Amino acid sequence: MPPIDLPFERSEYDRRLALVRDEMAARGLEALFVTDPSNQAWLTGYDGWSFYVHQGVIVLPDAEPIWWGRNQDRNGALRTVWMGEDRSLGYADNYVQSTERHPMQDLAGHLRALGLEKARIGVEMDNYYYSAKAHSALCESLPDARFLDATALVNWQRTIKSAPELAFMRKAARISEKIVDGLLERVEPGVPKNEIVAEIYRDAIRGVEGAWGDYPAIVPLLPSGSDAAAPHLTWDGRAFASDEATFFEISGCYRRYHAPFCRTLFLGEPPDFLRRAEAALVEGLEAGLEAARPGNRACDVANALAAPLEKAGIERGARCGYPIGLSYPPDWGERTISLRAEDESVLEPDMTFHFMPGLWMKDWGIEITESIRIRDHGPAETFCNRPRQMFVK
C-alpha cells in the first residue's frame, strides 16, 4: 500500500487520545466505544463513507485504539488510520442488515477477548450512529459488562482547536467565500435553483489554490420568499423569482473541517420591513462578535444578539450558534455548547463556533452568519471576510 496521508502528525493524535483517556479515568471507564464518525476520525484518522453500517473505535486506557467495522471497510481503515494493521478488525458481511445476527455480537466477542466482559464501558447513547437495537444486542451479548452513557465525551475534548485544526478551518473558509462569491454572481430571476446548486458543488469540490474541496456534512440550503420561514428546506427545479429573498446556507470543507457561512440575496427592491430586520440582525451579530471573548459565557453572546432584535420588535427563540470543526453527515455541529441564553459555558481561546443568528418568521426569513474563533483576547475572529449585509441584485 502507498504511505498513509494522515491529516495530522502523530503527536496531534497522541494529544487527543490523552484528553479522552483523562476523561475516561475521571468517569471510571475501562473502555470507550466510539461510533460517531467525526470522533472516530478525530482520534484515529479514519475517513470513509461507511457510517451507514455499524462501526466504531475501541479506546483503551493503556493500548492503542482499535478500529472495528465491516470487513470490506477494514481496507479503508488500513489506508487512513495511524495505528498498525493489527489494530483494525472487520466483521463478516453476513452480519450486515441481517435478521439472524447483529454486528454487535461480533464486537462483543472482541471485547471479551480483550478481557472486558465485566468492564465499565462507555457508549455514545444519544448519537445518530448507535441504534437502540445495537445497544440491546451489545448488552445481551455481554450481560456482565456495565454500559454507561458517554455521549459527547469525545466531542467535549474537541472544543478547543489546535493550530493545525485552525489552519484547516481557514482553508475551508476560503472555499466558503468562493462559493458565496459564485452564487451572488450567478443567481438571477429565471435561473433554476438546481443549476445554482450544481455550481455551488463545483466550487465547493474544486476548492481554492492549496485546498481541495471535500464534501460538506450538510447539503446547500436555499429557501426563497415565504419558504425562507423554514430553515432546512433544500432545493428543487423552480427558478429564482424577482421580489424575493433567498438565504444560502453553505460551508466549504477541507479534510472534513468546515467553516459554515450564510448570506441572503434579494432580487429586486427589498421592502422596508426586511431592511429593518437586516439592520437589527447585523447590529446584533456585531454585538455578539464583540461579546465572544475569552472569559465570557455562551449566553453573553446570545444576549448581545438579542438586545437589538428585541428593540426592533423581533422575537427569536432559537439558539444562535454551535461549535464547529471536523464533521460528517448529517450535521456540521459538534453538539456540545449552544450559544443561547441558558448556556453558561465559559468561552476559551481557540474555541470555534458558527454564530448563526438566522431569522425565520411566519412568511419570510433572512440569514447573515459568521464562523468564528475565540481569540486570546478581544472580540472573536471571523474565518470568512465578506460584507455583513443582505445583498441586493
Q: Which residues, listed in sequence order, are joined to residue 90 by a DSSP beta bridge?
A: 69
**Predicted pLDDT of residue 4:** 85
CB 304 within 8 A of CB 283: no
List Cβ neighbours of 361 (8 Å cut-off, separation of 6 or more): 229, 314
Q: What mean pLDDT do residues 88-107 have? A: 97
* Rounded-to-integer distance, Cα 326 and Cα 217, Å: 9
Percentage with pLDDT > 90 across the chain: 98
pLDDT of 171 over the 80 cut: yes
pLDDT of 1 over the 70 cut: no
pLDDT, tens only, 120-170: 999 999 999 999 999 999 999 999 999 999 999 999 999 999 999 999 999
Percentage with pLDDT > 70 across the chain: 99
Q: Which residues, listed in sequence order, are joined to residue 247 by a DSSP beta bridge?
A: 264
* Rounded-to-integer distance, Cα 314 and Cα 316, Å: 6
CB 32 within 8 A of CB 43: no
pLDDT of 244 over the 80 cut: yes
Q: Which CATH class name applies to 163-392?
A: alpha beta
* Rounded-to-integer distance, Cα 206 and Cα 208, Å: 7
The torsion of the CA quartet 284, 286, 290, 293, rounded to 10 degrees, works out to 90
* Rounded-to-integer distance, Cα 87 and Cα 107, Å: 14
**Predicted pLDDT of residue 315:** 87
**Predicted pLDDT of residue 124:** 98
Nearest alpha-carbon partner for 334 in 174, 162, 217, 219? 217
pLDDT of 113 over the 80 cut: yes
Fold of 10-157: Creatine Amidinohydrolase; Chain A, domain 1 (3.40.350)
> What are the grid coordinates assigned to 269, written together?
427592491
Least confident span in 2-11, 184-193, 306-315: 2-11
* Rounded-to-integer distance, Cα 355 and Cα 359, Å: 13
Q: What mean pLDDT do residues 183-206 have? A: 98
Q: What mean pLDDT do residues 211-219 have? A: 98
Please tell me if the domain spanning 10-157 has the same topology as the one spanning 163-392.
Answer: no
Give 2's pLDDT tier (boundaries 50, 70, 90). Answer: low
**Predicted pLDDT of residue 186:** 98
Q: List, in sequence order, the alpha helices (H) in the chain.
A: 10-27, 37-44, 71-80, 103-113, 132-141, 153-157, 163-186, 193-206, 272-291, 298-311
Give 318's pLDDT tier (boundaries 50, 70, 90). Answer: confident
**Predicted pLDDT of residue 108:** 98
Give the residue extent of every domain in the chain: 10-157, 163-392
Instruction: Give the side-chain half-sphere CA count within 13 A for 359.
Output: 31
**Predicted pLDDT of residue 9:** 97
Task: Tell me the pTM.
Answer: 0.97
* Rounded-to-integer distance, Cα 271 and Cα 294, Å: 39
Q: What mean pLDDT do residues 70-77 have? A: 96
Reading across the β-sheet that carries 390-392, which strands appear in turn? 244-254, 257-267, 390-392
**Predicted pLDDT of residue 3:** 73
**Predicted pLDDT of residue 329:** 97
The dihedral of CA 325, 330, 331, 335: what is its sign? negative
Cis status of the peptide bond prior to 308, with omega within 30 of 0? no
**Predicted pLDDT of residue 317:** 78
DSSP letter (8 states) at residue 49: S
Q: What mean pLDDT do residues 34-48 have? A: 98
pLDDT, tens only, 253-299: 999 999 999 999 999 999 999 999 999 999 999 999 999 999 999 99
Q: What mean pLDDT do residues 29-53 have? A: 98
Return mean pLDDT, the chain: 97
Q: What mean pLDDT do residues 173-200 have? A: 98
Report the DSSP pairing between strands 146-149 and 120-123: parallel
